[in-house]
């Protein structure tokens, strides 16, 4: 049918099918700013456009419905301000505000948010925060925690009203003592919470105590705008699916409807005969190559137990067949025409059944390759047995033994951009894989044998990523498109639906954990033991390393006091078992959140049992600067361990400053504060958790960078590191710019392409700023050295006192001699390429770290509990973080806010459940709720800088640590509020209610032994 549409003021005629959604037509016509979130019910809102000025989800209306209406897309809102000789009005003030405030992280939902904000500000120029949050609530964001988008809209509103706004770099530095006043909790804090709220919502810098070393820097430590923000805020076609290739086929996968079965018969005849079907592939059509989908360095520290297609299915959602067709509809029709006969096998859904005698064996394929202590005969993907010190002796020396059982759920990364890949043969018959991945180099390496191609004939391009959170540290589905491209010789796009994200992607390992802790009467921990039963699902990707981290990062925090500091007694045992459920994998935090729920809940209970202050008890036993990481002598992700000293621990300062801002002293154990006037069924509570993470994997993961200088004094920074929305391109650029003495705008950052950028292990393990950042710094130093040499020569040729290269300082786009003479970098660049002893000034460097300096944090949570229904409302989260030097406070605080928000979902609502047949109960973002803008608690981030000596700029990491402490802090706050011992996470109303009804202590026991 032919339809007229008025899009961005232009009346155009389009051909559409009756079933076409507005989103499909817009994207077909090149309006890529409307994004596909994979959802069926329009729950994510990334596809929003304005229809007659209202934000509507273009995936949830037919294209035909839009006829006669005015449509605005992000493409009609604003433009880059500089386009050569053509003058433009630049970005819209809303877009500008989003860029300035760091509201753009991955940028996938940003166009929708900008449009929603525009709809509000056009009818309400002076909105309240509530109004802003309401209008943004139609767009789900998994990155930001919504605080910065709200700030952006308030800032834009001020711009549009013609008002002045505070500068972005108006930092709130810590006074000499504490951030907050001892007596007031929130009271007495500078520039926060003014009655109008305006200053709160336009000031975006977090509170930060800055190390002395950072004082002189011009780039590092500054809230530079994200280098990709301008394109993302315009909705430019920056993502994998924003590509339209001639003849591109659509791929779909037939997923198993049963949890465990052999394929007795599969017939694709009818599907292949369907008009418009280009290929149908089953296990009979492609090579049988065993591999692991985990995106990790070689050798993969886990079993090889996966095939692109197999004659056996191991979970509901496992792959049965691939289809490539001219359209999505035809592809779906073809799936329905594939006839499959299954021989069903017994299924293991409960991990406790996996190792029982007589349990069905999930992996019986002869190609299975063990790693470490994996044993498929016992359905064991990995086994960990780590003993540090003499644990039994430690228990014998204790006055009390405390034991408890805890449980953490399987949860979904829920990045708003689904997994997506486009594959095609290029003109050199090399296979190009354009994919939304955190691990482009691992993808190339792992897929080469799977596809039967030498690695050099594969090129992996990583465009912008619409969120990953570990879910894209997986070679999850690129092979589907690649096999189909090989079969058809045509470009193929494969885009996951939201349902596929739930049934056929990866997730956080659920675990059941037993804790046993020996403690002396004075609170000294004498021995600490954790056993985890970890469920890896049907495949063992990340099985060993995720679960290893559960112990490695959590159990290392509390080593004990006194003599136990030198010789702590710690035991971590784990069995990682196969079940017939969707595989687990990497998820931000990588096993560590699973460790901190049991560990910190257990610590809280012990402190209360012994009548100790929970903060003092934790700090008494926590690791301190100069002490060995206890696990560093015993375990290293399946490789040789090497002892490592922890140089910087800002935990005590985090506690002191965090508790001041949280108002801990006024609230904890305060019955007056705990009760809510007029609402006897409500109780308030406050809780804390202390956490540590890691920064990179020592002696293993490597990052590379190259920098070349251009004629105009600008530079290209090429990195293999993958910015998945975190801002790592910007942060790496800032560090390189600091070395080169240039503003960030003179550095053009490009990542990642296996043909053009240096190798990098990818974005995981909180490593990019530390590892890849060091590589960028080292490359910049090489370039700086060449610049100094040339500059010295140029200055000496001009006469005057002779200057040596090592006397030259690079600053302010100049190479400056001690006496003040200088040459500009434009002159150096031009001279080097065109005039004298021509050379390409260029530096290439890489870095592997011998250290993994942990960041630390104190996480505070404030809740209100309805003691009649068990409903929990989280009112406030305060996180004080020692992440070393903070390179970009605005971007880093965005990481903390977004991480806390993800962790908040983990704490109270997110959970993937299965029926007894292995069918997923949650298959979309309606049933699996992630937090919206209009229901957020107050978020507060504090940075307590330490200078980590193992990094050129003293950095550690911030990306993963916000995942660790929220859940236990919320659990502890619930305990504080009403005494409910909820040991199973998340703390849903029914669990809290049952804990209140039972009035018992769960599985927690105290035994006095001396």
Partner 1 sequence: MIIAYHRPASVDEALALINRTEPETLPLGGGTVLSRPGPGRYAVVDLQSLGLNKIERQGATLVIGAAATLQDLYARADIQEALREAIRRETTYNLRQSASVAGALVSADGKSPFAAAMLALGAVLVWAPDGRETPLAQYYDGVSARTQGLILRVAIPVDAELRYEAIAKTPADVPILCGAVGRLANGLQNVVLGGIGDAPMLVRSQTGGLEGIELANAVENVFSNAYSQYGNQNSSNSDYLKPTSAILLRRLTGDLPGRAG
Q: Which residues bind partner 1 (CB under 8 A)?
A: 1, 18-19, 21, 40-43, 45, 48, 51, 54-57, 59-62, 64-65, 67, 116, 134-139, 329, 332, 866, 868-871, 873, 908-909, 926-927, 929, 931-932, 934-935, 986, 988-990, 993-994
The answer to whether 325 touches 278, Cβ cutoff 8 Å, is yes
The Cα angle at residue 516 between residues 515 and 521, in degrees rounded to 5: 130
Cβ closest to partner 1, residue 433 vs residue 908 = 908
CB of 428 to partner 1, least distance (A): 38
- Cα separation, 991 vs 909, whole angstroms: 11
The answer to whether 492 touches 281, Cβ cutoff 8 Å, is no
**Closest listed residue to residue 771, CA positions, set 598, 959, 906:** 959
Beta strand 420-425 with 525-537 is unpaired
CB of 978 to partner 1, least distance (A): 15
Cβ closest to partner 1, residue 349 vs residue 740 = 349
CB of 17 to partner 1, least distance (A): 8
Cβ closest to partner 1, residue 67 vs residue 186 = 67
Cβ closest to partner 1, residue 233 vs residue 933 = 933
CB of 316 to partner 1, least distance (A): 19
CB of 921 to partner 1, least distance (A): 11
CB of 552 to partner 1, least distance (A): 31
- Cα separation, 529 vs 552, whole angstroms: 12
For residue 986, cis peptide bond before it (omega within 30 degrees of 0): yes
Residue for token digits 């950052």? Answer: 749
Residue for token digits 């299924």? Answer: 347
CB of 63 to partner 1, least distance (A): 9
CB of 993 to partner 1, least distance (A): 6
- Cα separation, 224 vs 99, whole angstroms: 10
Cβ neighbours of residue 150 under 8 Å, at least 6 residues apart? 129, 132, 133, 136, 201, 933
Cβ closest to partner 1, residue 539 vs residue 906 = 906
CB of 135 to partner 1, least distance (A): 6
Beta strand 82-83 with 86-87 is antiparallel
The answer to whether 737 touches 717, Cβ cutoff 8 Å, is no
CB of 871 to partner 1, least distance (A): 5
SS (H, E, C) 213-275: HHHHCCCCCCCCCCCCHHHHHCCCCCECCCCCCCCCEEEEEEECCCCCEEEEEEECHHHHHCC
Cβ closest to partner 1, residue 75 vs residue 866 = 866
**Closest listed residue to residue 560, CA positions, set 694, 718, 393:** 393
CB of 123 to partner 1, least distance (A): 11
Half-sphere exposure in the Cβ direction for 149 (13 Å, CA)? 38
The answer to whether 621 touches 526, Cβ cutoff 8 Å, is no
Residue for token digits 């965005």? Answer: 894
CB of 915 to partner 1, least distance (A): 11
CB of 989 to partner 1, least distance (A): 5
The answer to whether 145 touches 901, Cβ cutoff 8 Å, is yes
CB of 457 to partner 1, least distance (A): 37
Q: Which two tokens stand for residue 913?
A: 């459940």
CB of 495 to partner 1, least distance (A): 13
CB of 923 to partner 1, least distance (A): 13
Provide φ and ψ at 788, rounded to 5°: -65, -40
One-character DSSP codes across 197-213: -HHHHH--PPEEEPPGG
Cβ closest to partner 1, residue 19 vs residue 836 = 19
- Long-range contact list for 714-717, CB < 8 A, 24+ apart? 714/746, 714/747, 714/748, 714/829, 715/740, 715/742, 715/746, 715/747, 715/748, 715/783, 716/747, 716/748, 716/750, 717/747, 717/748, 717/749, 717/750, 717/776, 717/779
- Cα separation, 77 vs 97, whole angstroms: 14
Cβ closest to partner 1, residue 42 vs residue 440 = 42
- Cα separation, 775 vs 702, whole angstroms: 9
| Residue 604 vs residues 55, 836, 972: alpha-carbon distances, Å | 46, 69, 7
Cβ closest to partner 1, residue 61 vs residue 158 = 61
One-character DSSP codes across 133-169: HHHHTTS--SSS-SHHHHHHHHHHHHHHTT-----TT
**Closest listed residue to residue 650, CA positions, set 593, 692, 695:** 692
Cβ closest to partner 1, residue 137 vs residue 714 = 137
Cβ closest to partner 1, residue 355 vs residue 909 = 909
What residues are paired with 405 via a beta bridge?
Answer: 514
The Cα angle at residue 740 between residues 736 and 746, in degrees rounded to 5: 80
Cβ closest to partner 1, residue 710 vs residue 988 = 988
Cβ closest to partner 1, residue 230 vs residue 930 = 930
What residues are paired with 514 via a beta bridge?
Answer: 405, 531
Write out the H or E segment, with its range, that includes residue 323: strand 319-325
Cβ closest to partner 1, residue 21 vs residue 473 = 21
Cβ closest to partner 1, residue 37 vs residue 593 = 37
What residues are paired with 1005 via a beta bridge?
Answer: 403
Q: Is 530 exposed, middle or buried (0-12, 13-18, 19+ CB in 10 A)?
A: buried
The answer to whether 569 touches 526, Cβ cutoff 8 Å, is yes
CB of 64 to partner 1, least distance (A): 4
CB of 253 to partner 1, least distance (A): 16
């Amino acid at each position: 049918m032919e339809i007229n549409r008025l899009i961005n003021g232009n009346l155009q005629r389009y051909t559409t099918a009756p079933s076409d959604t507005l989103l499909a037509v817009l994207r077909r016509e090149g309006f890529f700013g409307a994004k596909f979130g994979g959802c069926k019910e329009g729950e994510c809102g990334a596809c929003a456009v304005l229809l007659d000025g209202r934000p509507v989800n273009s995936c949830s209306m037919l294209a035909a419905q839009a006829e006669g209406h005015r449509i605005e897309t992000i493409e009609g809102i604003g433009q880059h301000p500089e386009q050569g000789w053509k003058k433009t009005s630049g970005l819209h003030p809303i877009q500008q505000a989003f860029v300035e405030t760091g509201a753009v992280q991955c940028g996938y939902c940003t166009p929708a948010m900008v449009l929603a904000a525009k709809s509000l500000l056009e009818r309400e120029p002076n909105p309240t925060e509530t109004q802003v949050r309401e209008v943004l609530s139609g767009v789900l964001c998994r990155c930001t925690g919504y605080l910065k988008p709200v700030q952006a809209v308030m800032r834009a509103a001020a711009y549009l009203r013609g008002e002045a706004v505070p500068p972005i770099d108006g930092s709130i530095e810590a006074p000499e003592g504490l951030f907050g006043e001892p007596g007031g909790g929130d009271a007495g804090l500078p520039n926060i919470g003014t009655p109008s709220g305006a200053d709160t919502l336009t000031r975006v810098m977090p509170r930060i105590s800055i190390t002395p070393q950072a004082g002189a820097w011009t780039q590092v430590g500054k809230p530079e705008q994200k280098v990709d923000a301008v394109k993302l805020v315009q909705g430019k076609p920056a993502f994998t699916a924003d590509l339209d290739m001639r003849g591109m086929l659509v791929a779909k996968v037939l997923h198993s409807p049963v949890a465990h079965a052999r394929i007795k018969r599969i017939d694709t005849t009818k599907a292949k005969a369907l008009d418009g079907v280009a290929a149908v592939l089953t296990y009979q059509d492609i090579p049988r190559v065993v591999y692991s989908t985990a995106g990790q360095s070689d050798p993969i520290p886990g079993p090889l137990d996966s095939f692109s297609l197999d004659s056996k299915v191991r979970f509901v959602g496992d792959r049965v067949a691939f289809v490539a067709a001219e359209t999505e509809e035809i592809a779906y029709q073809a799936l329905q025409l594939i006839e499959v006969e299954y021989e069903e096998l017994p299924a293991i859904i409960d991990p406790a059944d996996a190792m029982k005698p007589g349990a069905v064996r999930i992996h019986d394929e002869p190609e299975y390759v063990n790693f470490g202590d994996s044993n498929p005969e016992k359905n064991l993907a990995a086994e960990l047995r780590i003993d540090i010190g003499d644990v039994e002796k430690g228990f014998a020396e204790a006055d009390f033994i405390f034991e408890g059982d805890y449980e953490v759920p399987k949860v979904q990364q829920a990045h708003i951009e689904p997994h997506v890949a486009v594959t095609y043969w290029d003109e050199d018959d090399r296979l190009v894989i354009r994919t939304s991945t955190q691990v482009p180099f691992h993808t190339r390496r792992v897929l080469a044998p799977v596809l039967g191609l030498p690695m050099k004939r594969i090129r992996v391009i990583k465009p912008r990523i619409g969120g990953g959170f570990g879910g894209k540290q997986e070679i999850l589905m690129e092979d589907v498109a690649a096999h189909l491209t090989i079969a058809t010789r045509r470009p193929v796009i494969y885009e996951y639906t939201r349902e596929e994200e739930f049934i056929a992607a990866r997730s956080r390992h659920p675990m059941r954990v037993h804790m046993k802790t020996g403690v002396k009467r004075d609170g000294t921990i004498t021995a600490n033991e954790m056993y985890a039963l970890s469920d890896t699902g049907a495949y063992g990707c990340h099985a060993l390393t995720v679960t290893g981290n559960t112990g490695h990062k959590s159990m290392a925090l509390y080593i004990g006091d006194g003599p136990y500091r030198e010789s702590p007694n710690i035991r971590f045992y784990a069995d990682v078992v196969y079940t017939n459920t969707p595989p687990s994998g990497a998820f931000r935090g990588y096993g560590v959140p699973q460790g901190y729920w049991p560990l910190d809940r257990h610590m809280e209970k012990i402190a209360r049992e012994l009548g100790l202050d929970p903060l003092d008890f934790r700090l008494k036993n926590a690791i301190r600067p100069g002490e060995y990481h206890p696990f560093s002598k015993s375990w290293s992700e399946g490789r040789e361990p090497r002892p490592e000293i922890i140089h910087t621990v800002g935990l005590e300062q985090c506690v002191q400053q965090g508790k001041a801002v949280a108002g801990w002293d006024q609230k904890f154990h305060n019955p007056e504060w705990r009760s809510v006037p007029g609402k006897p069924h409500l109780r308030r509570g406050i809780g804390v958790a202390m956490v540590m993470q890691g920064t990179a994997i020592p002696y293993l993961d490597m990052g590379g960078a190259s920098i070349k200088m251009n004629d105009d004094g600008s530079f290209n920074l090429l990195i293999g590191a993958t910015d998945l929305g975190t801002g790592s391109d910007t942060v790496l650029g800032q560090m390189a710019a600091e070395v080169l003495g240039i503003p960030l705008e003179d550095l053009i950052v490009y990542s990642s392409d296996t043909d053009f950028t240096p190798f990098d292990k990818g974005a995981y393990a909180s490593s990019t700023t530390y590892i890849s950042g060091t590589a960028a710094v080292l490359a910049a130093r090489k370039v700086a050295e060449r610049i100094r040499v040339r500059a010295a020569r140029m200055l000496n040729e001009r006469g005057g006192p002779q200057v040596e290269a090592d006397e030259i300082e690079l600053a302010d786009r100049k190479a400056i001699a001690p006496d003040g003479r200088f040459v500009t970098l434009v002159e150096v660049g031009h001279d080097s390429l065109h005039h004298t002893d021509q050379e390409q000034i260029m530096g290439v460097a890489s870095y592997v770290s011998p250290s993994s300096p942990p960041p630390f944090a104190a996480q505070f949570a404030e809740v209100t509990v309805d003691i009649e229904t068990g409903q929990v409302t989280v009112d406030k989260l305060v996180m004080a973080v020692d992440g070393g030097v903070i390179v970009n406070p605005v971007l880093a605080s965005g990481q903390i806010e977004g991480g806390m928000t993800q962790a908040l979902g983990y704490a109270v609502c997110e959970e993937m459940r299965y029926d007894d047949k292995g069918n997923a109960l949650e298959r979309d973002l309606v049933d699996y709720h992630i937090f919206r803008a209009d229901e957020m608690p107050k978020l507060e981030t504090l940075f307590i800088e330490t200078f980590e000596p193992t990094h050129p700029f003293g950095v550690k990491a911030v990306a993963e640590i916000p995942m660790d402490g929220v859940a236990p802090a919320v659990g502890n706050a619930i305990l504080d509020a009403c005494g409910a011992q909820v040991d199973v996470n998340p703390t849903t109303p029914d669990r809290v209610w049952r804990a209140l009804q039972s009035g018992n202590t769960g599985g927690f026991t105290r035994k006095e032994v001396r």
